[in-house]
Amino acid sequence: MSQTDTASNFCHEIYELARRWPKQNQVRAQPDGRRLLIIQNLDDADRIMRRNADNYFKNSKWLSQVAGNSRLTADSEAWKFRQKISQPFFGKYDHTRAFAISNIQARAIAEALVSSQDSTTLNEHVIHQGMASIFTQMFLEMELVQLPISHDSPSQLVELASAYAFVAPGQEKNLENKEHIRKILQLRKSIFDALAPLRDDTSLKSPLLKAILNAESEKNSDFSLEKELPTLIDAGTDTAAYSVGWGLHLLAAYPKLQERLYQSLSHIYASNADNPQALQSAIAQHSELRGFIAELLRLYPPLPFVTRLAHANDQLSDIDVIAGDVVVVSLVGVNNKALERDDPWVPNIDAAIKEGYGMGTGSISSFVWGKRVCGGRSFALVELATVLSVLIAQLKIEFSEDKPVAYEWVGQMRRKGGHPLRVSRRT
pLDDT tens track for 213-261: 999 888 667 899 999 999 999 999 999 999 999 999 999 999 999 999 9
According to the annotation, is 11 in a ligand binding site? no
Name the domain count of the chain.
Answer: 1
At 278-324, the pLDDT tens digits run 999 999 999 999 999 999 999 999 899 999 999 999 999 999 999 99
Least reliable range by pLDDT among 86-90, 315-319, 336-340, 405-409: 336-340
Q: Is residue 124 part of a domain?
A: yes
Compute the 3-state secondary structure of the chain and give helix, strand, coil in percent, each to the nearest 5: 60, 10, 30
Secondary structure of 112-166 in HEC code, one letter for each residue = HHHHCCCCCCCCHHHHHHHHHHHHHHHHHCCCHHHCCCCCCHHHHHHHHHHHHCC
Q: Is residue 421 part of a domain?
A: no
At 59-83, the pLDDT tens digits run 999 999 999 999 999 999 999 999 9
Q: Is residue 378 part of a domain?
A: yes
User: 3-state DSSP call for residue 379?
Assistant: helix
CB 162 within 8 A of CB 62: yes
Q: Is residue 416 part of a domain?
A: no
What is the distance between the alpha carbons of residues 419 and 399, in angstroms, rounded to a whole number? 8
Q: Is residue 415 part of a domain?
A: no
Q: What is the pLDDT of residue 380?
A: 96
Q: For 221, what's the count of Cα atoms within 13 Å in the CB-facing half-sphere?
A: 22
Q: State the residue range of the domain holding 27.
A: 3-402
The verdict on pTM exceeding 0.75 is yes
Q: Is residue 140 part of a domain?
A: yes
Q: Is residue 332 part of a domain?
A: yes
Q: Is residue 425 part of a domain?
A: no
Helical (H) or strand (E) element with 394: helix 377-394
CATH of the domain at 7: 1.10.630.10
